[in-house]
Chains A and B, each alone.
Chain A
Amino acid sequence: MVRRNHLFSPFWLVLMLLPFNLWAKTQEFTLTLENHVFTPSELKIPANEKVKLIIHNKDEVAEEFDSFDLNREKVLFPGKKTRIFIGPLPEGNYEYFGEYNPTTARGVIVVEVNNAD
């Protein structure tokens, strides 16, 4: 009797690949931290869409990305790239800052309906 391999049935394959398909649609935006300053200081993203934010900490010390407006908080280790997801968000300005250097490491995410970079 031949045992059928249910793992590779079309249903399971679609189910397994569905998350990858969803991830592929997520737009990516990059922020760089260097000398305790985020660049670009103003990042435009589309409204009502989930986006992936990649933050590259080029400094030799750790930093913590923090945003009360976005409800996000993540440690950025030196020399590493960190990924966080934000949105879907309505139009508006959402401030963020580096918790260890809040005077210099600051920026704003501008959520717009059109013209997203």
Chain B
Amino acid sequence: MLINTVILFLKDLLPIFILLCLLKVNNANAVISKKVIFIIVLLSIFGVIATFKLLPLIGEMWDGTGIEILQTIEVLLVYVLLVFSYSNVALSKYSSVKQLYFISSAIVIFVTLNTSVFIVFLDSYITSSEFIKHIIAGLAIGLGICFSFSFLMYFLLIWLNKKQRYLVIYTFWALFLTGQLSQIINLLQQVDIIQSSAALWDSSTLVEDSSEYGHLLKTLFGYEARPSSEFIMVYLGSLLVLYSYFFIQLRYKISESKQPEGRNYEH
């Protein structure tokens, strides 16, 4: 039960730590008021409780496809909100109020999405005194690993930021976001909304999905040892969108900086 709690904690909650870490690196100068943080936490708690309570009901909706459809909508929302808020931030180093609203909304949805499934597990065993010690120990270990990992990642990204390796940081971001988005293919395939095709390749001899590295790579980049062609199409499509957006922004910024200062075309 102890190991199981740690594994589930890492699987469900490590992505939240990584997302917050990635956002923090490129929003280091952004000042988020305590009021906004309080609202994000409050809405996240409300979202998690509401989703957890409604999950069995949602699961029965639309011929048993309710949870997959809900999770797909949530993942798509997070993706769209973050693509159009973060890609600007990655280059301009500041966040407008609108961008901060987008990012805050994405955080609330992402926390709700990931935590509500973990709460289902906790709810199953927290009432049993037999397992309570193992679960508390598992939560403490899981939390420790998540904090340690995200701090290490944060310092690595800060170091890259100081070296002005923006493309490397953006690659971390693009792969993380793409990994999250591509999970919708598996969700929709298991309820037959999207047709399943055979795996394009099998890299399980290199890294097994079930191994520690497999779990970590899945969280960071959406790694699949046996991906379907639909999965790869969405993965590559998302990377194309993210890099196109980045380079369009970069080009715009370069052309803006080339304009002579103090020149006023209105005169």
Q: A residues touching B (Cβ–Cβ < 8 Å)?
A: 23, 26, 50, 52, 61-64, 68-69, 71-75, 77, 80, 82-90, 99-102
Contact of A82 among B64, B124, B208, B228 (CB under 8 A): B64
**Known A-B contacts A72-B186, A100-B124; A83 and B64 likewise in contact (beta carbons under 8 Å):** yes
CA distance A115 to B226 in the complex (A): 26
CB distance B125 to A61 under 8 Å?
yes
Q: Who on chain B is nearest to A59 by CB?
A: B124
Instruction: Find chain A residues with CB under 8 A from B212 CB.
Output: none
Q: Smallest Cβ distance from B202 to chain A, in angstroms? A: 10
Instruction: Find chain A residues with CB under 8 A from B210 CB.
Output: 68
CA distance A3 to B224 in the complex (A): 53
Interface string of B35-71 (1 = CB under 8 A from A): 0000000000000000000011001100110010000
CB distance B186 to A73 under 8 Å?
yes
Instruction: Sort A-B residue pairs by CB-CB distance and give the 6 closest, nearest first.
Output: A61-B124, A68-B209, A85-B192, A77-B56, A83-B64, A84-B190
Q: Smallest Cβ distance from A63 to chain B, in angstroms? A: 8
6 contacts between A and B (CB under 8 A): A50-B196, A72-B186, A83-B191, A85-B189, A99-B8, A99-B121
CB distance A74 to B190 under 8 Å?
yes
**Known A-B contacts A62-B120, A68-B209, A100-B124; A80 and B56 likewise in contact (beta carbons under 8 Å):** yes
Chain B interface: which size bin?
Answer: 20 to 34
Tell me if A's interface is mostly helix, strand, loop or mixed: loop
CB distance B198 to A100 under 8 Å?
no
**Known A-B contacts A71-B226, A75-B55, A83-B64; A62 and B190 likewise in contact (beta carbons under 8 Å):** no
Q: Smallest Cβ distance from B181 to chain A, in angstroms? A: 16
Tell me if B's interface is mostly helix, strand, loop or mixed: helix
Q: Smallest Cβ distance from A4 to chain B, in angstroms? A: 32
B4 within 8 A of A: yes
Instruction: Find chain B residues with CB under 8 A from A75 CB.
Output: 55, 59, 67, 117, 120
Contact of B121 among A82, A90, A100 (CB under 8 A): A100
Q: Smallest Cβ distance from B185 to chain A, in angstroms? A: 9
Q: Who on chain B is nearest to A77 by CB?
A: B56
B266 within 8 A of A: no
CA distance A80 to B55 in the complex (A): 12
Instruction: Find chain A residues with CB under 8 A from B198 CB.
Output: 88-90
A26, A50, A84: which has the most chain B beta carbons within 10 Å?
Answer: A84
CB distance A71 to B224 under 8 Å?
yes
Q: Smallest Cβ distance from A26 to chain B, in angstroms? A: 8
CB distance B192 to A62 under 8 Å?
no
CB distance A71 to B67 under 8 Å?
no
Q: Who on chain B is nearest to A63 by CB?
A: B124
B256 within 8 A of A: no
CB distance A80 to B192 under 8 Å?
no
Q: Who on chain A is nearest to B218 by CB?
A: A68
Instruction: Find chain B residues with CB under 8 A from A63 CB.
Output: 124
